Structure 1
Amino acid sequence: MTDLSTDVRVRYPAFTLEVAHVFPGHGITALFGPSGCGKSTLLRVIAGFERGAKGRIAYGDEVWLGERAYLPPYRRGVGYVFQDARLFPHLTARGNLDYAHRRAADVAARYSFDDVVDVLDLAPLFERRVNQLSGGEKQRVAIGRTLLARPRLLLMDEPLAALDTRRKGEIMPYIGRLPNAFGLPVIYVTHALEEVTQLCDRIVALAEGRIAATGGVAETLERLDLSSVQGRFEAGVMLTGRIAAQDMALHLSRVDIGSARLEVPQIALAPGQEVRLRVRARDVSLALTRPEGLSIRNALDARVLSIEPEAATAFAEVLLDVGGQHLRARVTRAAVADLGLGEGQPVVALIKAVSFDRQALPRDNRAEA
């Protein structure tokens, strides 16, 4: 495993990117933040596409950018997946894959053509022309073509941005397998928190060209001071649990998160499998006692950890402990006052099952095939 060390600057008339960070040589790292924060620019700097970049980039002991060094993109061994698939329209899916495979014939191979086809389930697409592929199928072929170039590092620039929620849900499991299947670290640009939650091991959050936060997904998302980076409408947390039971008749899954249990729309995973769930702060309500006669399926015993009023608005963010994991609730300041909420206070967190988008929930598409 080889780390990527960056300490770079790029200056434009109206924007400056300054980032110093070490990207670990394993797993998937999210470059996350609002539009215009510098995510794609940083990815282009790493790939060598921004000749105006200054500073230092080193892949292990190999210097890609330095005071007197500049390694061109084709010598960095980087694979780049763009928002659009950029496939050759005159070739079939198989033809696109063969093209990359032949060009990389002299590159030491850690995996085979058949490995890529198997992991991405590409064989059924072989004979189709590009115009006969769906958006998700095009991106799978594009990822396969990039892998067959035998990169050492995979850069993905919002590869799901053009897909609807259902197609994103179908392709995310394939992307999630890439690091383990091919021994390949991934840097993944996105502004979609569902993608971060389901795919990534860690986050580098950017704001206005600088790093706002770094860390694991769960602990970074729960930070109340990063609401502006997440977007207050989408801010929330990631919970990790295991499928406890499947209710086939009611199309519900029951998920254990520590000592608590959640009911969510059915997830296509087997009992015992680990699952990540994103819960938005705006989808969490609070009560002082366990209510009765409600349609809300989830009532979780919780404890208030902190309360942070939001400046110049009617709202406050409440951080909660639920069985050792954390929830965020976005409520009004008036609700905080009326309920007399304070740190350490026991409460009941209420979450509607329908607040979980069924199309965005994780799935095992190999089991479905």
Structure 2
Amino acid sequence: MSISVSISHQIGKFALDADFSIEEPGITALFGPSGSGKTTIINIIAGLTRPRRGRVQLGDRVLFDHARSINLAIRKRRVGYVFQDARLFPHMSVHDNLYYGAKRNRLKLAASDQQDIIEMLGIHKLLHRQPNNLSGGEKQRVALGRALLANPDVLLLDEPLSALDQARKEEILPYFESLRDQRKLPILYVSHAIDEVARLADQMVVIDNGKTLANGSVFDMLGRTDLAPLAGQFDTGTVLPARVASRDPKAQVSFLDCAGQRIVVPYLGHAINTPVRLHIRARDVMIARTPPAGISANNVIPVTIIRMAGSNNDTLDISLAFGHDLDAIHTGPASDRPSIHARITSWSANRLNLGLHQKVFAVIKSVTVNGHLREQ
């Protein structure tokens, strides 16, 4: 189901002008620094905030249209909303919290679908407990279940992990991955945590100072070095599709095949041929003129410099295409020539005398490469 947002709004001196469309189900990250307008956008979609002008459409239903004086009531928008702090009703059991919205919806899910959601979120053993007896991760899973059981057309997640410590985040992230891959529901995920976006998102909309800077596939967006200075906290990197080629549980590493290159990552526990996605930060990639020997880094990849851009006076963002075959890099389809990005000092680039089309080697430590399960 598609989502189209084109709105203008004013809050004091802050002006919001957002314009983007999402055509596919899956997770779309609304990404940008704090105060950029991300939460206001999803509040407008949910009907919690009325914009001054514009239009919001979900599939073939118009939720808001200033020109036509349309402003659909919240209860009619079929929107699920999960807040940062779960917001469970403290006087109700988990069961009653879960079914609070579902009881008020005429378009109810089938009983089997309801049970699937409860099983997917791992909350079937929590049904008779009270919210004050739940951990932070459990509360967020219950809040997510409550939103899903109401059978929404779109799910809005407002930084749902920001109030959790790292251990609780790692506990709940797999449930978001299952939701993305199993429910096929459009999800808008507000975040300023690039690791979450790289792991979960299919699409990405970059918001800064109330403006939509860019939107597109997360694979393309995270590789756009030009967005780093524009979005403030945007941390340039690369997201690449790969598959598990082999594993070594004793050494606690997995060997991945990424466009014909072997990438070593910490042991993932996945079966051979499982599709995964890699997130490699630009700051974790070193460049060598010749293959280094006698080092602890496990990934030494032949690459060719295809772009060099200064991010400021002190550093350079360098795009590196896999392989040393210049003809294949310049003439082959883009999907056959994945690239990664490195951020190094200008001093290092000058010391190595780096230049465009130069054949070099990317050196990446295994522990800095994040590999996550991804159904394709």
Q: Give CA deviations for 1:51-77 in whole Å, capped at 9, x if unaligned.
A: 243211122332221121111211111
Q: Kindly report structure 1 stretches of 4+ aligned residues shifted beyond 4 Å.
A: 229-233
The 2-side partners of 1:93 and 1:60 are apart by 32
With over 3 angstroms needed to count, the CA separation of the structure-2 counterparts of 1:119 and 1:229, relative to structure 1, is farther
**Alignment check: 8 A CA contact 1:49 1:73 kept:** yes
Asked if residue 345 in structure 1 is aligned to residue 358 in structure 2, the reply is yes
The residue aligned with 1:263 is 264
Output the amino acid matched with 1:74.
R
Q: Give CA deviations for 1:89-141 in whole Å, capped at 9, x if unaligned.
A: 2233223223333333x224366321211221211222332122221111111
The residue aligned with 2:283 is 282
**Alignment check: 8 A CA contact 2:227 2:234 kept:** no
* Structure 1 range deviating more: 155-164 or 88-97: 88-97
The residue aligned with 1:316 is 316
The residue aligned with 2:156 is 155
Q: Give CA deviations for 1:338-360 in whole Å, capped at 9, x if unaligned.
A: 21111111111011122246xxx
- What's the C-alpha RMSD, in Å, of the aligned pairs? 1.9
**Alignment check: 8 A CA contact 1:173 1:362 kept:** no
Secondary structure of 2:54 counterpart: strand
The 1-side partners of 2:24 and 2:226 are apart by 28
Output the amino acid matched with 1:142.
A
The residue aligned with 2:213 is 212
Deviation at 1:16, TM superposition (A): 0.7
**Alignment check: 8 A CA contact 2:131 2:139 kept:** yes
Aligned residue runs from structure 1 range 191-270, under 5 A: 191-229=192-230, 231=232, 234-270=235-271
The 1-side partners of 2:237 and 2:100 are apart by 43
Deviation at 1:291, TM superposition (A): 0.7
**Alignment check: 8 A CA contact 2:33 2:233 kept:** no
The 2-side partners of 1:203 and 1:85 are apart by 24
The 2-side partners of 1:242 and 1:41 are apart by 38
The residue aligned with 2:303 is 302
Asked if residue 36 in structure 1 is aligned to residue 49 in structure 2, the reply is no
Output the amino acid matched with 1:4.
I
Secondary structure of 1:123 counterpart: coil
**Alignment check: 8 A CA contact 1:158 1:190 kept:** yes
Output the amino acid matched with 1:290.
P
Aligned residue runs from structure 1 range 1-369, under 5 A: 2-66=1-65, 67=67, 68-104=69-105, 106-109=106-109, 112-229=113-230, 231=232, 234-311=235-312, 313-322=313-322, 324-356=337-369, 362=372
Q: Give CA deviations for 1:31-85 in whole Å, capped at 9, x if unaligned.
A: 1111111111111111111124321112233222112111121111111111111
**Ranges in structure 2 where 5+ consecutive residues have no aligned partner:** 324-336
Q: Give CA deviations for 1:119-177 in whole Å, capped at 9, x if unaligned.
A: 21211222332122221111111100111111111111111111223322222221123
Secondary structure of 1:125 counterpart: coil
The 1-side partners of 2:299 and 2:31 are apart by 30
The 1-side partners of 2:172 and 2:305 are apart by 37
**Alignment check: 8 A CA contact 2:277 2:373 kept:** no
**Alignment check: 8 A CA contact 1:37 1:208 kept:** yes
Secondary structure of 2:96 counterpart: helix
- TM-score in terms of structure 1 length: 0.91
The 2-side partners of 1:157 and 1:123 are apart by 24
Secondary structure of 1:166 counterpart: helix
Output the amino acid matched with 2:85.
D
Deviation at 1:25, TM superposition (A): 4.6
- TM-score in terms of structure 2 length: 0.90
**Alignment check: 8 A CA contact 2:208 2:231 kept:** no
The residue aligned with 2:333 is none
**Alignment check: 8 A CA contact 1:233 1:282 kept:** no
The residue aligned with 1:367 is none
